[in-house]
């Protein structure tokens, strides 16, 4: 065992002890570092994590992910302490829409229903009619009366995908994920040439021309479910590299190739075991949402959760 592994083991044990002491639950997104995923009580996609945050009976939620995820937990569970071990872990895409800019756009399209991707601030959620994640975006849009136009913020790529799948008229916002938007059709073609037998699965945050080349389009948890259940032995994976840890762990014997080595989200990698330990010791940094904003944002999140 290398020094790093034994350090990780020791830290993980200390974190487990602190977790008991604080009655805390550790939620981790699938893009987190492997050692963070291994210490988590629940690992999932944005939808699964928000459902878990809503139903946990722990007093403290340690969110190993990015700011909007911890904020969504705080919106759903105002009585719990929500900790984000690396407070500077943000989502550049979420920062591409502000409540002020959205209010201005709503004036241009007063009849449109505003659907906000969960990758957005609490203020933006508060200005929206309904929230969605990559796992339920198509269902959410289909739940909206057919005569309504949809203003979709902030991810233009997910908006485009949802428009095609639902056949609905979508007014896009020019936001995008730095990590997924980097993946080009050429990268995918090259990966396909290198691994002709592999199933291509990509995240809907990828560009439309990349999505068009894919065999399957899924949220992160959707990819894991599909790989577990499918008979295929090889997969080209078009999403952030952190997902490989669970794919390899949960699908032994199958082969997973990242569509491009560029697919790393630095914000998702900013959380480390020492920061998780420190957060539990100090009960910081806490994420809270002002009550007036929280209540409005909660409406959009609860309407999403209610869509079956
Ligand atoms: P999902 O895990 O919900 O598919 O989201 C991907 C993502 O980019 C989260 O930041
Ligand atoms: Fe935001 Fe993209 Fe990073 Fe997810 S992977 S947190 S969408 S920048």
Domain ranges within the chain, ordered by starting residue: 3-90+268-289, 94-176, 180-258
3-90+268-289, which class in CATH? alpha beta
Helices (H), the chain: 3-22, 34-39, 46-55, 67-76, 99-108, 122-126, 137-142, 156-166, 178-181, 185-194, 208-211, 220-229, 243-250, 273-282, 291-306
Answer yes or no: is pLDDT of 54 > 80: yes
Please give the DSSP secondary-structure letter assigned to residue 293.
H
Taking only the tens place, the pLDDT of each residue in 197-245 is 999 999 999 999 999 999 999 999 999 999 999 999 999 999 999 999 9
Determine if ligand 1 sits within 6 Å of the CB of residue 220: yes
Fold adopted by 180-258: Rossmann fold (3.40.50)
User: Do 3-90+268-289 and 94-176 agree at the fold level?
Assistant: yes
Question: Ligand 1 centre from 36 Cα, in Å?
Answer: 17
Cβ–Cβ < 8 Å for 12, 35? yes
Q: pLDDT value at position 47?
A: 86
Answer yes or no: is pLDDT of 5 > 90: no
Determine if ligand 2 sits within 6 Å of the CB of residue 66: yes
Q: Which ligand is nearest to the CA of 268?
A: 2
Answer yes or no: is pLDDT of 172 > 80: yes
Answer yes or no: is pLDDT of 108 > 90: yes
Average pLDDT, rounded, for the chain? 96
Cβ–Cβ < 8 Å for 88, 129? no
The residues near 281 (Cβ < 8 Å, ≥ 6 apart) are 18
Taking only the tens place, the pLDDT of each residue in 238-285 is 999 999 999 999 999 999 999 999 999 999 999 999 999 999 999 999
CA-179 nearest atom, ligand 1 = 8
The structural architecture, per CATH, of the domain 94-176 is: 3-Layer(aba) Sandwich (3.40)
Q: pLDDT value at position 203?
A: 98
Cβ–Cβ < 8 Å for 132, 95? no
Task: Give the predicted TM-score (pTM) of the model.
Answer: 0.96
Cβ–Cβ < 8 Å for 63, 72? no
Question: Ligand 2 centre from 271 Cα, in Å?
Answer: 14
Q: pLDDT value at position 109?
A: 97
Answer yes or no: is pLDDT of 170 > 70: yes
Q: What is the mean pLDDT of residues 22-27?
A: 97
Q: Measure the CA–CA gap between 234 and 243, rounded to whole angstroms.
A: 15
Q: pLDDT value at position 6?
A: 84
Pocket test for ligand 2, best of 30, 132, 267 (most atoms within 8 A of CB): 267
Taking only the tens place, the pLDDT of each residue in 88-103 is 999 999 999 999 999 9
Determine if ligand 2 sits within 6 Å of the CB of residue 265: yes
């Amino acid at each position: 065992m290398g020094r790093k592994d034994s350090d990780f083991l020791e830290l993980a044990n200390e974190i487990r002890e602190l977790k008991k002491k604080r009655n805390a639950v550790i939620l981790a997104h699938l893009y987190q570092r492997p050692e963070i995923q291994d210490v988590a009580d629940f690992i999932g996609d944005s939808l699964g994590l928000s459902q878990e945050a809503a139903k946990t009976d722990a007093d403290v939620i340690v969110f190993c992910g990015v700011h909007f995820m911890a904020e969504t937990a705080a919106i759903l569970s105002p009585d719990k302490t929500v900790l984000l071990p690396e407070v500077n872990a943000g989502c550049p895409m979420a920062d591409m829409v502000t409540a002020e800019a959205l209010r201005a756009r709503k004036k241009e399209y007063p009849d449109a229903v505003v659907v906000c991707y969960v990758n957005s601030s609490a203020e933006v959620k508060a200005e929206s009619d309904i929230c969605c994640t990559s796992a339920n975006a198509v269902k959410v849009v289909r739940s909206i009366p057919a005569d309504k136009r949809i203003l979709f913020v902030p991810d233009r790529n997910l908006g485009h995908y949802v428009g095609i799948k639902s056949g609905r008229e979508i007014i896009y916002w020019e936001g995008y994920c730095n990590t997924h938007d980097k993946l080009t059709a050429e990268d995918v073609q090259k990966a396909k040439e290198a691994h002709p037998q592999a199933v291509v699965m990509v995240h809907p945050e990828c560009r439309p021309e990349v999505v068009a080349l894919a065999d399957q389009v899924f949220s992160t948890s959707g990819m894991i479910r599909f790989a577990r259940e499918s008979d295929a032995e090889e997969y080209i994976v078009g999403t952030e590299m952190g997902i490989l840890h669970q794919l390899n762990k949960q699908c032994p014997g199958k082969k997973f190739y990242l569509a491009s080595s560029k697919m790393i989200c630095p914000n998702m990698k900013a959380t480390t075991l020492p920061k998780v330990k420190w957060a539990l010791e100090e009960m910081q940094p806490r994420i809270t949402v002002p009550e007036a904003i929280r209540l409005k944002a909660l409406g959009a999140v609860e309407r999403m959760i209610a869509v079956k």
